[in-house]
Each structure stands twice: as C-alpha cells, then as structure tokens.
Amino acid sequence: MKLKHFFPLLAGISLGASVSAASVENDMPYLTLSDGSRIPQLGCGVWELNGQEAYKSVTESIKLGYRLIDTAQYYRNESETYQAVLDSGIPREEFYITTKLNPSNGSSEKNIRDSLDRSLKNLGGKIDLVLIHWPFSNDEMAWRIMEEYVQEGKFKSIGLSNYSPEALRRILKIAKIKPVLNQVELHPYNSKYPTVAEYEKEGVKVEAWSPLGAGRQGLLRDPVIADIAKAHGKSSAQVILRWDLQRGIITIPRSKNPAHIKENISIMDFQLNDEEMKQIDALNRDDALWDI
C-alpha cells in the first residue's frame, strides 16, 4: 500500500435508489454484518481531531442522532471520544464504537496485547468493532489475538482497514473469525466498484473513510454533483453521503464544525434516482490517496 499524495494517514455495487439491505430506526439505516451484528450506516469520524476537538465533535454528533463513532489508536483521542459517550447519558448499548489497532504497536505479541488492552481501558472495557488499521508484517498474529478477544467477549466484531482484495484473502485464509468489514478510501472520484464487489463476494461490508474526498480534488465543487444537489435542495456533501448509503456503503464523515455535522446527518429525507446514481458513478477517476 502506497500513499499517492502527501496526506496524513486516515483512518459496493449500486443498490439504486433505495437501500434494501438496511432496516431503519429513527430514520437511521442499519446494516447487518456477517456475524449478525447491526451497525448504523452513517457515523461520526474523529480523525485528525485532538482530544478536546474529538470530545466536542462527538458530543454534538450524539445530540443530532449519530450512534456510530469511529476512532483509532493512531488518532490518540479514544479516551475523549468515549468520555463524550458517557457524558451523553444515553445507554452505552445504543452506540456502536469502532477503534483500530495501530500497526506501530504490532512489533510483538506483547505489544499487540498491551495496545489492545489500552484501547479497552480507554473505551470502557468492551468495544463493538476493532480493525487492523492497515496491513503490516505481523497482522496475521494480530488477527489471531483479536480473535481471542472476541471469544473472551471483549470485542463484539473484528475487521480490517485499507486492505486490498489480495490482503483480505490472506487474512481470510488464516481466520477462524471472519472480518466483518473493510474500511477503505471511497468517494465519487475513487468509487472502487470492482474491489467493493470482491469484498462483498467474501461477505465483507465496506466502510468509507474520506467519503467527501477530504475537501481535495474539487470534489465538493464538481458541477455534476452540484447540479444534482441543486435539484434536491441539498448540498454537494449531502448528495455524496446519500450516494454512499444507496450503494450500501457505511460512511463516516469527519467534522468539528457543528453546522457540517448537522448537514451530514440530514440526508434521510431524500433519495437519488437511478439516473443520478449513474451520473455520480461516472465521475470515477480511480484517484486515491492510498494505492491498495
């Protein structure tokens, strides 16, 4: 995997105008993962936010109805993210919390276990989903350890991030517990239809990081998306996130701007028609930050 642009590290097939795989609670669509767990399809990411910013962002997100919260060891804001969940007063079981193992903590079995235990401490002793943040030399060892944590009831589900189809198949060969999802860069300029199809063939859901292109490449100013947004009385960001939902993609936009956080979740009251979906699909350039 190679970073194609200078950019800090972050961390399938079109379903047409409706998400038949999703059930809806309070207008939020949920998807069912291969292990039977249910995950909200739209979440709050805290990449590149310091602890205080993450706390404020998650607090605001929770008020607006977000229940999927995505953090990572690499982000160094797990504790603040979880404190916002606690301070909300909403029962923990209503949330779906994801974190990621930092491969920098994967040099030995002891280091892997120690880092996972720190995440457990930071996030209240039980985590809904733990991902390996990107492939590394000891990731098969890490996967076996993560399987133990599932069997011990510490993690509900485990998965991957930034794994190519080939790297995914390598993990599948040694896995006793199957990855439930793969979190990858995905947006209209990097729509990943062929690779998403490969993931889904293995029963692995896809979650989009940088769904809005991280503000780069002029994606939010694309005239095709802008015209569709105007027709619906929505923003370009809202159209892109709606495109994700209708593809059956889980999506985790990140923002510390309260107006943007509200804008991102205000996408349950409209649908893109098949022609609009195709127009957005046609924007693909295979233009990715990460080459996987």
- Calculate ∠ Cα 7-10-12, nearest 5°: 115
Q: What is the CA radius of gyration of the chain?
A: 18
What value does the mean pLDDT take over residues 159-177? 98
pTM: 0.90
- pLDDT per residue as tens digits for the range 50-86: 999 999 999 999 999 999 999 999 999 999 999 999 9
- Model pLDDT, residue 36: 98
Round to whole Å and give the CA distance between 71 and 78.
6
- Model pLDDT, residue 288: 83
Phi–psi pair at 85, nearest 5 degrees: -65, -45
Residue 23 predicted with pLDDT over 50: no
- Model pLDDT, residue 214: 75
What value does the mean pLDDT take over residues 9-30? 46
The verdict on whether residue 133 carries a ligand-binding annotation is yes
Residue 24 predicted with pLDDT over 50: no
Burial of 236 (0-12, 13-18, 19+ CB in 10 A): buried
- Model pLDDT, residue 22: 36
Pairing verdict, β 205-209 and 250-251: parallel
Round to whole Å and give the CA distance between 169 and 167.
5
Residue 277 predicted with pLDDT over 60: yes
The CATH number given to 13-291 is 3.20.20.100
Residue 198 predicted with pLDDT over 60: yes
Cβ contacts of 191 within 8 Å, gap of 6 or more: 281, 283, 284
CB 35, CB 180: distance < 8 Å: yes
What value does the mean pLDDT take over residues 129-140? 98
Name beta bridge partners: 181: 205
Round to whole Å and give the CA distance between 35 and 243.
25
- Model pLDDT, residue 216: 66
- Model pLDDT, residue 252: 98
Which sequence spans correspond to the domains of the chain? 13-291
Give the active site residues.
75
Banded pLDDT at 18 (limits 50, 70, 90): very low
CB 3, CB 289: distance < 8 Å: yes
What DSSP element (H or E) covers 38? strand 38-40
Banded pLDDT at 289 (limits 50, 70, 90): confident
